[in-house]
Amino acid sequence: MENNSRSRDGLFSISEEDVQGHIFREKDLLTISHLPEESRIIGRDEQIAQLAEEIEPVIIGYEPNSALIYGKTGCGKSLVAKYVAQLAEEEAEERGYNLAYGICDCSQSSKEASVIQTIADSMNTPTTGISVPSRGISTDEYYKRLWEILDEAYDGGIIILDEIDHLKSDDVLMVLSRANESEKIDVPLAIIGISNKIDYRNRLSERVKSSFSHREFIFDPYDSTQLEAILRNRNDAFQEGVLKDEVVPYCAALAAKKHGDARKAMNLLKFAGEYAKRKEKDEVSKEDVDAAEKDAEAERLLSLISGLSPHVKYVLKALANLTKNNKENWFRTSRIVDTYEKVCEKEGVDVLSLSGVRDCLNEVAFLSVIEGNRETGGRGVGNYKEWRLLTDADTVIRMEKLST
Ligand SMILES: Nc1ncnc2c1ncn2[C@@H]1O[C@H](COP(=O)(O)OP(=O)(O)O)[C@@H](O)[C@H]1O
Ligand SMILES: [Mg+2]
């Protein structure tokens, strides 16, 4: 009772200062979903112009072309599609037309009903008097309401299906692309599909291929100069003078190695800033980028094993200690057990039996955190199993610190 009635004053004490601190000035600029203004977009002028050209008839209510955009993660696909859609919406408004704009991330909503629900909901306005409940009506009914909304309130529409390869079936694409032809609606639709997988086009069924007239765009990865420019254009996310000169080129170089991934570059910069802030530093340096990377790896590892018994952690710690303190990196089960027992003693917990430890080892091997191999020891020794850490020992030790 007492606990429940305790005042909650001070439970939420967050302030702007806590988020931005002395490191950040406008951290939102580094959020992946943030749609930057034109001056911050680097090296995609051509793609923006071409995509705009394909869809532009829809702005004044004429039948547009559709598009499929391909390219690896972080090469600006979502950014370009959203940016063009936003400009189109503004242009339409200036010319006195009403352009609907709906986007669905198919990796979040992959079933037909939820894709249509998401799009209809985002296009709906209070003036239509139509409701789009989040559940409880059939797929057909969702389509019906989408058509009603479009006919009621708009002269044309742009629909972005992001991560389109996650769709359970291509029915969505077929129905949307035939909506005019089959007289479901009177307003034209431009559909922009986006995929990381270039083979997506081969997965389209013949009936979709014939109804979905579209142009394909393939986005190249960025090089380190472009990545550097992308990051520089957002360095006002930081307070003046906080970001050391070395940081942006360093993040750009790391991300260039990872297939020129701008998402990776932006995340490195943001996480480095967060790390420096947490450590109450005055500046963000290369070391903060490295440390932030390693923390992120340790967090991934921690979340990977979070559902397993705490002994999995002790066994991993034992293997990490052995790896750190020895030249070799393969260790027999019996040696791991010895070290594991010391870890348990330190932690003040009871030890598992040999077979319990084996279970733990097998579980993390299943997750590819470690690997095992069976060795034949020869006469008198019998068979034994050796294990090796597949992640770096420091990551395991960092994970330990994160979890306490
Ligand atoms: N050419 C660019 N100029 C500025 N920022 C970019 C550019 N390309 C990507 N970004 C930024 O990088 C991040 C990832 O881009 P995104 O469009 O989401 O990639 P994709 O959809 O291809 O995976 C986003 O925050 C985006 O704003
Ligand atoms: Mg994307």
pLDDT digits (tens, 9 = 90+) for 310-337: 999 999 999 999 999 999 999 999 999 9
CB atoms within 10 A of CB 396: 26
How far lies 27's CA from each of 234, 238, 270, in Å? 9, 7, 8
| Residue 380 pLDDT grade (very low, low, confident, very high; cuts 50, 70, 90) | low
- Quick one: average pLDDT of 221-235? 96
Does residue 401 register a pLDDT over 80?
A: no
Separation of CA 399 and ligand 2 centre (Å):
29
Residues 6+ apart with CB under 8 A from 307: none
CATH 3.40.50.620 fits 2-29+222-303, yes or no: no
| Residue 1 pLDDT grade (very low, low, confident, very high; cuts 50, 70, 90) | very low
According to DSSP, residue 284 is labeled: B
* pLDDT at res. 2: 44
Does residue 6 register a pLDDT over 60?
A: no
* pLDDT at res. 374: 78
Separation of CA 219 and ligand 2 centre (Å):
12
| Residue 378 pLDDT grade (very low, low, confident, very high; cuts 50, 70, 90) | low
* pLDDT at res. 403: 62
* pLDDT at res. 381: 67
Q: Give the tens place of pLDDT for each residue, 288-297.
A: 999 988 888 8
Q: Give the tens place of pLDDT for each residue, 111-156.
A: 999 999 999 999 999 999 999 999 999 999 999 999 999 999 999 9
Q: For ligand 1, what atom is nearest to the CA of residue 41?
A: 3
- How is the chain split into domains, by residue range? 2-29+222-303, 45-218, 307-403
The fold for domain 307-403 equals: Arc Repressor Mutant, subunit A (1.10.10)
Q: For ligand 1, what atom is nearest to the CA of residue 80?
A: 17
Does residue 210 register a pLDDT over 90?
A: no
Which residues in 91-249 belong to E strands, given as ranges?
A: 99-105, 156-162, 189-195, 214-218
Ion ligand 2: residues, CB within 5 A, are: 78
Query: Which amino acid belongs to residue 238?
Result: F
Q: Is the dihedral of CA 266, 270, 275, 279 positive or negative?
A: positive
| Residue 12 pLDDT grade (very low, low, confident, very high; cuts 50, 70, 90) | confident
Number of residues that make up the chain:
404
Q: Which CATH number is correct for 45-218, 3.40.605.10, 3.90.79.10, 3.40.50.300, 1.10.238.10?
A: 3.40.50.300
Ligand 1 and 102: CB distance under 6 A? no
According to DSSP, residue 220 is labeled: P
Separation of CA 89 and ligand 1 centre (Å):
20
Ligand 1 and 99: CB distance under 6 A? no
Does residue 398 register a pLDDT over 90?
A: no
- Considering all CA atoms of the chain, what is the largest pairwise distance in Å, rounded to the nearest integer? 89
Give CA–CA dist 109/91, Å, rounded.
Answer: 29
Q: Give the tens place of pLDDT for each residue, 94-110.
A: 999 999 999 999 999 98
Q: For ligand 1, what atom is nearest to the CA of residue 33?
A: 25
Q: Give the tens place of pLDDT for each residue, 151-196.
A: 999 999 999 999 999 998 899 999 999 998 888 899 999 999 999 9
| Mutation probe of ligand 1 site: the residue of 263, 264, 269 with most atoms within 8 A of C-beta | 263
Q: For ligand 1, what atom is nearest to the CA of residue 32?
A: 25
* pLDDT at res. 215: 94
Ligand 1 and 41: CB distance under 6 A? yes
- Ligand closest to the CA atom of residue 261: 1
Q: For ligand 1, what atom is nearest to the CA of residue 162?
A: 21
Q: Give the tens place of pLDDT for each residue, 38-61.
A: 999 999 999 999 999 999 999 999
CB 71 within 8 Å of CB 219: yes
